[in-house]
Structure 1
């Protein structure tokens, strides 16, 4: 058996709120909309990973979701311009990533990062 995909599911009674963060600010594509569930992503192969952590590193809270981008500074600017509150960073971490934390519209702590 081979795991092909891992999907993060966030419960909300306001599914449409996801668009402003995941599509508009982060640039993900709407790939499925059933009304009760929307899925954002890209139609390309990505690494399958799941992390278990006691903290988020640098003594930060463990994020609910980590999203790797190619340009963390552009993501930071877009997310701030969209009105989302930055909770940490941006910062260059000693393990080789540049990142920041932000809360999505559902209160989930999102770690936006880029490898350095």
Structure 2
């Protein structure tokens, strides 16, 4: 038996409300849209991961999602320009990531990060 992928399922009264954030800001592609559920996918490939945390690091709250990007500063600038609420960072963390926390339109706390090393 092998886990093939892990999918985050977030409750949303209006699944279309996240489109500007996840598709336009982060560049994710809509790979399934049934109206009641919209699934986004990136271009990279990664092994399935699941994190369990008592905090988000450096005393921050645990984010609902962590999304790794190739240029965290570019996404941060675009998020600020779009008026999304930045709640932490950007910060260079001692465990080798540069990141910021942002609220998506559904109120979820999203950790946007790039590895620095």
Please state which band the TM-score falls in when normalised by the shorter chain: over 0.9
| TM-score in terms of structure 2 length | 0.95
**Structure 2: stretches of 5+ with no match in the other structure:** none
Pair 1:5 & 2:5 matched: yes
Provide the residue aligned with 1:53 in structure 2: 53
Q: Out of 85-94 and 11-20, give the one that drifted further.
A: 11-20
SS at match of 2:75: helix
Name the CA distance, whole Å, in 2 between partners of 1:78 and 1:29: 18
What are the residue-to-residue correspondences of 1:1-116 with 2, within 5 Å?
A: 1-42=1-42, 44-116=44-116
Separation in 2, partners of 1:115, 1:50: 18
Structure 1 runs not aligned, ≥5 long: none
Q: Secondary structure at the match of 2:61?
A: coil
Contact in 1 for aligned 2:27/2:42 (Cα 8 Å): no
User: Whole-Å Cα distance in 1 between the matches of residues 23 and 56 of structure 2?
Assistant: 25
Counterpart CA distance in 2 for 1:75 and 1:12 is: 23
8 Å Cα contact 1:26/1:78 also seen in 2: no
Residue 43 of structure 1, CA deviation: 5.3
Structure 2 CA distance, aligned partners of 1:70 and 1:84?
20
Q: Could you tell me how far apart the structure 2 residues matched to 1:97 and 1:43 are? A: 21
